[in-house]
């Protein structure tokens, strides 16, 4: 906003300062967010077939009520979802047959055995 009054020129720079400050704050926030994300990524293990299996396994344990849900911090049982995730792991074993290392094969077999036993126990206690 510019006005001429009695030979003086008045320039309102408030809007420009606010915009400049906003851009600076936004850039700082973005930079902090990127640093935080990079920091969080360092805490995650390398993603490979084994860590993916362990992630699915943890999901089943949450749905069986063995572990608390990370969002609501409560243990809840969801047997259909647990069963479906176990089935997904079984499909992965079938589809990767012949392509797994001995260690990966032992891991998937152990995970399936443990999860199936926990599922059977959970169905007994909820019935």
Task: Give the mean pLDDT of 48-69.
Answer: 92
Q: What is the pLDDT of residue 11?
A: 73
61 and 25 co-located in one domain = no
Task: Give the mean pLDDT of 52-81.
Answer: 91
The total of structural domains in the chain comes to 2
Residue 87, classed as helix, strand or coil, is helix
Task: Give the mean pLDDT of 112-116.
Answer: 97
Which residues form the domain of 36? 2-42
114 and 53 co-located in one domain = yes
62 and 112 co-located in one domain = yes
65 and 38 co-located in one domain = no
Distances (CA, A) of 40 to 36, 45, 69, 72, 76: 6, 11, 20, 21, 27
Per-range mean pLDDT, top range of 40-44, 81-85, 123-127: 81-85
Give me 22's structure tokens: 């906003």
Q: Is the pTM of this model over 0.85?
A: no
Calculate the CA dihedral of residues 108, 66, 117, 45 and round it to 10 degrees. Answer: 10
72 and 57 co-located in one domain = yes
Listed in sequence order, the DSSP H helices in 70-127 are 79-95, 102-126
Q: What digits encode the pLDDT tens for the residues 70-92?
A: 788 888 899 999 999 999 999 99
Q: What percent of the chain has pLDDT over 90?
A: 51
Per-range mean pLDDT, top range of 8-12, 25-29, 38-42, 47-51: 47-51
């Amino acid at each position: 906003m510019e006005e001429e009054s009695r030979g003086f020129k008045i320039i309102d720079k408030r809007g420009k300062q606010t915009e400049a400050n906003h851009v600076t704050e936004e850039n700082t926030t973005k930079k902090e967010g990127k640093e935080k994300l990079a920091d969080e990524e360092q805490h995650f293990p390398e993603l490979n077939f084994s860590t993916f299996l362990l992630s699915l396994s943890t999901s089943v344990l949450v749905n069986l009520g063995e572990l608390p849900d990370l969002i609501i911090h409560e243990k809840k049982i969801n047997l259909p979802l647990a069963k479906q995730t176990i089935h997904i792991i079984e499909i992965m074993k079938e589809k990767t047959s012949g392509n797994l290392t001995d260690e990966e094969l032992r891991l998937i077999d152990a995970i399936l055995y443990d999860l199936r036993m926990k599922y059977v126990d959970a169905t007994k206690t909820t019935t």
